[in-house]
Structure 1
Amino acid sequence: MFTGIVQGTAELVAIEELPNFRTHVIRMPSLAWGEGLALGASVAHNGCCLTVTRIEGDRVSFDLMQETLRLTNLGQLQLGEKVNVERAARFGDEIGGHAMSGHIMGTAEVISVIGTPNNRQVWYRLAPTLMKYVLTKGYIGIDGISLTVGEVRGNEFCVNLIPETLTRTNLGWVQVGWRTNIEIDPQTQAIVDTVERVLAQRPF
């Protein structure tokens, strides 16, 4: 489980491409971040849960299978780009964001970035099949960041960002046209799906 509180960004320093498979290597954000990290540990990259396969100094390797490449933005990353990283939560950790599984449901396109001196508003366009789970003031995971939905307009929604989020995450350099990983709040999904099933069974 993850909390959506990104611990920093990590640079992608190596990529090995195979058919429908990719191994990528990140440089740890800091030595303290990697303390106690072991093979088999779970680390979220842009919100996607990946497993540590190798540790060599400050470099950590992860394997991305076909489904991960299909559903997420990780297969589009190039050398030198950075990903948001969060290590798996441990029992007793503070849940500063909201409970997240690290299972990405799809990607959304950045369609507008509106900046002011101390804030930034980012608008996204999302597929209708996922958009029904996005509600004003509801939770959403964007590239692994726990955020609150600011406004919803049709198949578009926005989030409002404070300086700390901009400093700590890749939203500090977000651009129009980016594809970003989306994890829907599971409680919202369960409620919407339940209501849909109940209404479908009602006679009219």
Structure 2
Amino acid sequence: MFTGIIQAMAPIASLEKQDNLWRFGMKFSGALLENLQHGASVAHNGVCLTVAGQTSDIVYFDVMDETLKVTNLSQCQVGDVLNIERAMRYGDEVGGHILSGHVAMGATLIEREATDTNSRLRFSCDEKWMKYILPKGFAAIDGASLTIGEVGKNWFEVYLIPETRSLTTLDSKLLGSVYNIEIDSQTQAIVDTVERVMAQKFQQ
């Protein structure tokens, strides 16, 4: 499990592409390497990956074809920088919200308005997901836990404070870039339950 509080940004040091599987070599340092064990879970742009190997400061992660189809990891190249979060431990402060590291969809950056103190980012996405994206609700965007601002038919906005701008890659991507989105699981459960109950009621 994760909290959506990005701990560091790390570059891709190597990328080995095999059939239906890519192996990422990530250059970690400092706290990211502390007591990191084989088999541990680490979120990369919000995608939960498992430590598959390690040599010095390079940590290896395997990414299956299905994950590549759903996430922006398929667009990555050597040298690209990713948002990284180690799995939460019991007793840790939860400053964001509980995440699984399972990306639901991609959203495209269609507008950015930046000032000296903050940024407003607008994303477009498939309309079918908008029922889970509510004003003042939560979503993880490339792994960062953020509060949703305004919402339209097939778009939504978030605001970035200086801390988020400096500690993540969220404000450094070009328009047209695709971001990984994990929707709030509680919101999804409530919406799906209400839809199912209402559908059963009208069938009676």
Tell me, yes or no, whether TM beats 0.5. yes
Worse overlay, 157-166 or 30-39:
30-39
Q: Which residue of 2 aligns with 1:41?
A: 40
Q: Which residue of 1 aligns with 2:9?
A: 9
Structure 1: which 5+ residue stretches go unaligned?
none
Distance 1:162 1:175 in 2: 19
Aligned partners of 1:44 and 1:85 also within 8 Å: yes
Percent of residue pairs bearing the same amino acid type: 50
Distance 2:37 2:95 in 1: 24
Aligned partners of 1:109 and 1:126 also within 8 Å: yes
Distance 2:202 2:180 in 1: 38
Aligned partners of 2:72 and 2:178 also within 8 Å: yes
Distance 1:84 1:50 in 2: 13
Distance 1:45 1:113 in 2: 23
Q: Which residue of 2 aligns with 1:178?
A: 177
After TM superposition, list the pairs within 5 Å mapping 1:93-132 onto structure 2.
93-132=92-131
- 4+ residue segments displaced more than 3 Å: none
CA drift of 1:71 comes to: 0.7
Residue-by-residue CA offset, 1:69-113 (whole Å, 9 max, x unaligned): 111000110111100000000001000000000011111111011
What's the secondary structure of 2:35's corresponding residue? coil
Residue-by-residue CA offset, 1:3-51 (whole Å, 9 max, x unaligned): 00000110001000012210011111x2232110011000000000000
After TM superposition, list the pairs within 5 Å mapping 1:25-64 onto structure 2.
25-28=25-28, 30-64=29-63
User: Counterpart amino acid of 2:159?
Assistant: N
What's the secondary structure of 1:32's corresponding residue? helix
Aligned partners of 1:11 and 1:83 also within 8 Å: yes
What's the secondary structure of 2:32's corresponding residue? coil
Q: Which residue of 2 aligns with 1:145?
A: 144
Q: Give TM-score, length-normalised by structure 1.
A: 0.97
Distance 2:89 2:168 in 1: 21
Distance 2:102 2:36 in 1: 21
Q: Which residue of 1 aligns with 2:154?
A: 155
Residue-by-residue CA offset, 1:43-64 (whole Å, 9 max, x unaligned): 0000000000111111100000
Aligned partners of 2:119 and 2:171 also within 8 Å: no
Aligned partners of 2:51 and 2:61 also within 8 Å: yes
Aligned partners of 1:43 and 1:86 also within 8 Å: yes
Aligned partners of 1:54 and 1:60 also within 8 Å: yes
* Number of matched pairs: 203
What's the secondary structure of 1:13's corresponding residue? strand
Distance 2:51 2:182 in 1: 21
Q: Give TM-score, length-normalised by structure 2.
A: 0.97
Q: Which residue of 2 aligns with 1:21?
A: 21
Structure 2: which 5+ residue stretches go unaligned?
none
CA drift of 1:174 comes to: 2.4
Distance 1:203 1:184 in 2: 28
User: Counterpart amino acid of 2:24?
Assistant: H
